[in-house]
Chains A and B, each alone.
Chain A
Amino acid sequence: MLDQPHSPAPLVQLVDIHKRFGGVHAVEGVSVDLYPGEVVGVLGHNGAGKSCLMRILSGAMAATDGAIFVNGTRAEVKTPQDAKSLGIETIYQTLALANHLDAPANLFLGRELKTRFGNLDEPRMLAEATEALRQLNPNFKNLRDPVARLSGGQRQVIAIARAIYFQAKVLIMDEPTAALGPSETAMVADLIMRLKAEGIGIFLISHDMGDVFELCDRVMVMNKGSNVGTFRIEDVNKDDILSLIVKGTLPEGWQPRGARV
């Protein structure tokens, strides 16, 4: 973290975030930042607090303590609406789709397009959704079906399209490939690289080490609610990360591996 190649200001800074549920500390004093065009992997085993931390940033959950800075200014992220208006979009692991509604309705849920008279502009939403979904998956048809009837991959595509349609600056992806087949996983990887090139900052929660090493610029590992280390991806290998995830410490005698080469 010392020799950051980034010159611009961080897109997002989380500073000393705490979250307590009664006596349980789900997140304890975690700080992390994210720069434009950067993918930061958020790792840790189940219950390590990574989803909780990301939910705080996406406004789904309020932090007990700590501060969030967006583009250098302190921001209040109390509701998902707050996060969205700051350009922070989230792809939830559960996808957060309303099963009875069709794809356009889900894509625009909470941000419906309206006509001059304030009615829902269904034709425009359908057209925009068709275009947005086609970019991600050219085979996407049956747009007017309730999303409950779509396949897992199609549902994932809707969730992704919803996050990127509104010109996110910061994207939180919670296991975006968990429900996908190989070709769709490759599609998501391509997409991440494309968004990165556009200068979007991405927090990627993943259990897949392959994805992490392929896509991330930095990784941050959480263990029992604490940040046990943030590293450039060149400085660590799989074993280092596993050691951090499981034990919360690096292997003995560890040195930044990138420095050796």
Chain B
Amino acid sequence: MAPGADKTGLRFLPSGATLHKLSALLTLVLLIGIFAFTSPAFLSVNNGLTVLLQTSVIALLAIGMTMVIITGGIDLSVGSVLALSGVVAGLLIKAGLPVYPAMMAGVIAGGLCGFANGLIITKMRITPFVATLGMMLIARGLALQLTGAAPISRLGDAFGQLGNGALFRVVEMQANGFPKVIFPGIPYPAILLLIMALVGAYLLNKRQVGRHIFSVGSNEEAAHLSGVNVHRTKIWAYTASGALAGLAGMVLMSRLSTVQPNEGVMYELDAIAASVIGGASLMGGVGSISGSMIGAFIIGVLRNGLNMAGTSAFIQQIIIGIVVIVAVYIDQVRNKT
């Protein structure tokens, strides 16, 4: 059988993972349709950009989370690492470092937290759940201790650029002296997300490290016996997750123009939900960046649409919880048949 014919065959008769992704995409389209019907303002360019902006943080976290989940692990620390990275960047800016090097340092701080997670999990043989739970407390505690639990503000205009700026933004001065936004532009966080998602998918599907991530999650013993460096692969995945949490922290803090050491609580759960809705299996070996992006946007659209429909935050949690359970249930039923 020619490989080309095989591929098109797969496209017409979707295999398990593709089917899941398709159904997730369908769910997303369905949600957008429902919300567009219930609230007319939902389907506007401005609201679309808002959703994009709101979702980008969770989606960035979900990229790293997906890699970790594919290795068969979990990273509960990303919400706290996000805050700690922001604090590191904020303090460095206050200490006189220019904005972008400070942000870079923030991302590196996140990466170091992830690297520590990886070392604890592989060298100390502590389960990912416990190790990252510990890191979640450590990073949050550090962030609060370093700042005295107070936000760091007045970080300058440049700090707000990443989160609030947009590419191709067209603003026209009106006769009355007020600016008029002709085209709101593509927000930088959305561009950053697109780049990171593409890089993530490339690494996962086209590079050796991605192949090893899948093999470790699929059968760790087999991967080890085949000559895969299991420890290095896991450390790589957790470091990537930590660094992406740092990056997400930069985006979030920049959008707020302040560093909030208590930001990002429970974000890890949204990231895990996004990955799982997107078809990643917590048993390892299964998952995709594209699926997780769809998952993140399902959560984002659901939040935004329910907000616009005036649903309370409490009800939103209930609904998202149900969505996660239903998504996993559908996946299990599909896998049995």
Chain A residues engaging chain B, CB cutoff 8 angstroms? 58, 60, 79-81, 84, 90, 92, 94-101, 105-106, 109-112, 114, 118-120, 123, 126, 141, 143-144, 162
* B219 and A97 within 8 A (CB): yes
Chain A residue numbers with a CB within 8 Å of B6 are: 144
* A60 and B219 within 8 A (CB): no
B127 at the interface (CB under 8 A from A): no
Closest A residue, CB atoms, query B219: A98
Q: Which of B30-38, B39-47, B106-114, B207-215 forms contacts with chain A?
A: B207-215
Known contacts A101-B215, A109-B226; is-contact A94 B3 (Cβ 8 Å): no
23 A-B residue contacts at CB 8 Å?
A60-B224, A80-B226, A81-B227, A97-B219, A98-B226, A100-B214, A101-B211, A105-B215, A106-B226, A111-B227, A112-B211, A114-B208, A119-B206, A119-B207, A120-B207, A120-B208, A123-B3, A141-B1, A143-B1, A144-B3, A144-B6, A144-B10, A162-B226
B286 at the interface (CB under 8 A from A): yes
Q: Which B residues, 283 to 297, have Cβ-Cβ distances below 8 Å to chain A?
A: 285-286
The one of A92, A101, A105, A143 that contacts B225, using a Cβ cutoff of 8 Å: A92
* B215 and A98 within 8 A (CB): yes
Chain A residue numbers with a CB within 8 Å of B119 are: none
Known contacts A109-B211, A119-B207, A123-B3; is-contact A99 B225 (Cβ 8 Å): no
Nearest Cβ on chain B to A24's Cβ, whole angstroms:
21
* A84 and B211 within 8 A (CB): no
* A80 and B225 within 8 A (CB): yes
B223 at the interface (CB under 8 A from A): yes
Chain B residue numbers with a CB within 8 Å of A98 are: 214-215, 218-219, 222-223, 226, 285
Q: Which B residues, 199 to 248, have Cβ-Cβ distances below 8 Å to chain A?
A: 206-208, 211-212, 214-215, 217-219, 221-229
Nearest Cβ on chain A to B274's Cβ, whole angstroms:
21
Chain B residues engaging chain A, CB cutoff 8 angstroms? 1, 3, 6, 10, 206-208, 211-212, 214-215, 217-219, 221-229, 285-286
Chain A residue numbers with a CB within 8 Å of B225 are: 58, 60, 80, 90, 92, 96
Closest B residue, CB atoms, query A121: B206
* A110 and B285 within 8 A (CB): no
B interface: dominant SS: helix
Chain A residue numbers with a CB within 8 Å of B215 are: 98, 101, 105, 109
Nearest Cβ on chain A to B208's Cβ, whole angstroms:
5
Nearest Cβ on chain A to B219's Cβ, whole angstroms:
5
Chain B residue numbers with a CB within 8 Å of A162 are: 226
Bound Cα distance A213, B309 (Å): 78
Nearest Cβ on chain A to B154's Cβ, whole angstroms:
45
The one of B1, B3, B285 that contacts A99, using a Cβ cutoff of 8 Å: B285
The one of B10, B218, B223, B286 that contacts A110, using a Cβ cutoff of 8 Å: B223
Known contacts A84-B227, A109-B228; is-contact A97 B222 (Cβ 8 Å): yes
Bound Cα distance A117, B226 (Å): 23
Nearest Cβ on chain B to A20's Cβ, whole angstroms:
20
Nearest Cβ on chain B to A138's Cβ, whole angstroms:
14
Chain B residue numbers with a CB within 8 Å of A84 are: 227
Bound Cα distance A123, B6 (Å): 13
Given A110-B212, A110-B227, 12 more pairs with CB closer than 8 A:
A60-B224, A60-B225, A80-B225, A90-B225, A94-B221, A96-B226, A97-B219, A98-B214, A98-B218, A100-B218, A109-B211, A126-B3
Chain A residue numbers with a CB within 8 Å of B208 are: 112, 114, 118, 120
Q: Which 3 A-B residue pairs are closest in the complex by CB-CB distance?
A: A110-B227, A98-B218, A100-B285
Bound Cα distance A110, B217 (Å): 14
* A110 and B214 within 8 A (CB): no
* A80 and B3 within 8 A (CB): no
Known contacts A120-B206, A120-B208, A120-B211; is-contact A99 B218 (Cβ 8 Å): yes
* B228 and A110 within 8 A (CB): yes
Chain A residue numbers with a CB within 8 Å of B207 are: 118-120
Bound Cα distance A62, B10 (Å): 44
Chain A residue numbers with a CB within 8 Å of B229 are: 81
Bound Cα distance A242, B10 (Å): 52
Residue among B206, B215, B219, B229 with the most chain A CB within 10 A?
B219
Nearest Cβ on chain B to A143's Cβ, whole angstroms:
8
Bound Cα distance A100, B252 (Å): 36
